[in-house]
Amino acid sequence: MIRTNWRKALLVAAGGAWMVLSGCSAGHSNTRVKEEWLARVPEEQLGSVREAQTQRLQANDAIVRADVEIRDAERALEVVRREEAAARLRKEAEEASVKAAEAQGQRDHIREAQASLKAAQGMQGAAKAQVAWREHVVETKKALKKLREREAEVANAELALAEYQALKRSGDVRADGLSEADFNSSVAKARGRLASAQKQVENDRKQERQARAQWENLRNQAQGYGGSGRE
């Protein structure tokens, strides 16, 4: 009895999944113009389609470029992380020097060691702030890639709409089986996702600017103590 019920449940689930997939396929078919249909449209009527295709190519190229920028930012982050580790080791060495000078009781040596420690502490603080800034740079680059992907989605949706409109203008009756409202809805949804991605980029850029300002402030202080900073 249990096995029979299990089999019935499995059949019901499989049937439900098939219905969902069928529905998705049907919805997708209403927002696609087949290439063989478009091939019958005279070239002189495909101006908007060709322009949309160019926009899509540019959008896809921008995604590739965004990927490269992410990798560059990640490499720069690794460099400053190593520098921060070196600054931390130097600070620890200066702390040991202060303890040694205090053990010797030499006032001049103690003052000199304390001054070196203060400079090392300033350098480490600046180095940590630089790491934080570079981390924000990486996050901004990733947000920019997401933005480029959203732009590509808009370009794809606008291309599909342009293809439909070209097919309709050509008098092809197969355009009657498609829904212009569906094409417009796809464009609107893609633009909505694009707007959200743009807001995320703006937010990440703001945090990046703040982190950079913090690093530059600490770097200038460290240089005042006799340390150094780099960009």
| Residue-number span of the structural domain to which 147 is assigned | 42-224
For residue 31, is it within any domain? no
Q: Is residue 192 domain-resident?
A: yes
Residue 4 in domain? no
Tally of domains in the chain: 1
Count of CA atoms in the C-beta half-sphere (13 A) of 197: 20
The answer to whether residue 68 is domain-embedded is: yes
What are the structure tokens assigned to 89, written together? 């080791």
What mean pLDDT is reported for the chain? Answer: 86
Residue 230 has pLDDT above 90, yes or no: no
| Residue 20, domain member (yes or no) | no
Residue 212 is assigned to a structural domain of this protein: yes
Read off the pLDDT band of 213 (50, 70, 90): very high
Q: pLDDT digit string (tens) for 71-98?
A: 999 999 999 999 999 999 999 999 999 9
Residues 2-35: tens digit of each pLDDT: 444 444 443 343 344 333 333 333 334 466 888 8
* Residues whose CB is less than 8 angstroms from the CB of residue 76 and which lie 6 or more positions away in sequence, other chains included: 134, 137
Model pLDDT for residues 158-196, shown as the tens digit of each residue: 999 999 999 898 888 888 889 899 999 999 999 999 999
Q: What is the DSSP string of the chain?
A: -HHHHHHHHHHHHHHHHHHHHHHHHHHHHTT---HHHHTTS-GGG-HHHHHHHHHHHHHHHHHHHHHHHHHHHHHHHHHHHHHHHHHHHHHHHHHHHHHHHHHHT-HHHHHHHHHHHHHHHHHHHHHHHHHHHHHHHHHHHHHHHHHHHHHHHHHHHHHHHHHHHHHHHTT-GGGGGS-HHHHHHHHHHHHHHHHHHHHHHHHHHHHHHHHHHHHHHHHHHHHHTT-----
Q: What is the CATH number of the domain that holds 76?
A: 1.10.287
Cα dihedral 200, 206, 209, 211 in deg (nearest 10): -80
- Domain assignment present for 112: yes
For 115-139, what is each residue's pLDDT tens digit?
Answer: 999 999 999 999 999 999 999 999 9
Query: Quick check: is 12 in a domain?
Result: no
CA angle 90-223-110, nearest 5°?
50
Tens digit of each residue's pLDDT (9 = 90 or more) over 38-60: 888 999 889 999 999 999 999 99
Measured between its terminal Cα atoms, the distance across the chain in Å is 73
